[in-house]
Amino acid sequence: MNEIEFYMHRCLDLAKNGLGYVAPNPMVGCVIVHHNTIIGEGYHQRYGEPHAEVNAIRSVKNKNLLSKSTLYVSLEPCCHHGKTPPCTDLIIAEKIPEVVIGTVDPYDEVAGQGIARLRNHGVKVDIGILRNKSIRLNKRFFVYHQKKRPYIILKWAQTADAFMDIERLPGTPAQPTWITSEKLRMLVHKWRTEEQAIIVGTITALKDNPRLNVRDWT
């Protein structure tokens, strides 16, 4: 791993902290480096609140170093007014001379325009550092904007001989048959905390009436 990838990995690690809190926004992490030392870092913590770049810049104690530093961010900085002001404007205002980006933002309001705005103001921009990892982290966000549909996870449990349940006929006392272990059920509950919706089949709803909560995961 080279130095640039090291800092981008740190961005991605920070970004993961936003899982379950920032949707429908993407998870984004940012670090600011001066003379091979991270002097600031941040991530998008909650939907509607400041983006990763803002939190990273705010964390820098000596703001005079910003004009001599490189900003690393896992996703292209926004350049439009949404719930918060454009991050590109803040980067330009702080005179940060170089920005390293994991991948282009697929959202129509950004989609390369943030990069163009930075370059038009003399900022050196490098793109595509750990691009595949950056896209994979925000697979839900990319699928929604590129394919215009939700990202879908199919989950089921079955026995080694390919059964999902015993036959439960109307009027029989048969109860739901657990196939997964307690640890696997905990994992499923963790997955539920990371998604925006859960769908079950009609038979599951009628026979099991599942609570679909996250009681096994804090």
| Residue numbers annotated as active site | 53
Name all contacts of 128-133 with Cβ < 8 Å and 24+ positions apart: 128/101, 128/102, 128/103, 129/4, 129/5, 129/8, 129/72, 129/100, 129/101, 129/102, 130/5, 130/8, 130/9, 130/12, 130/74, 130/102, 131/102, 131/103, 133/9, 133/12, 133/102
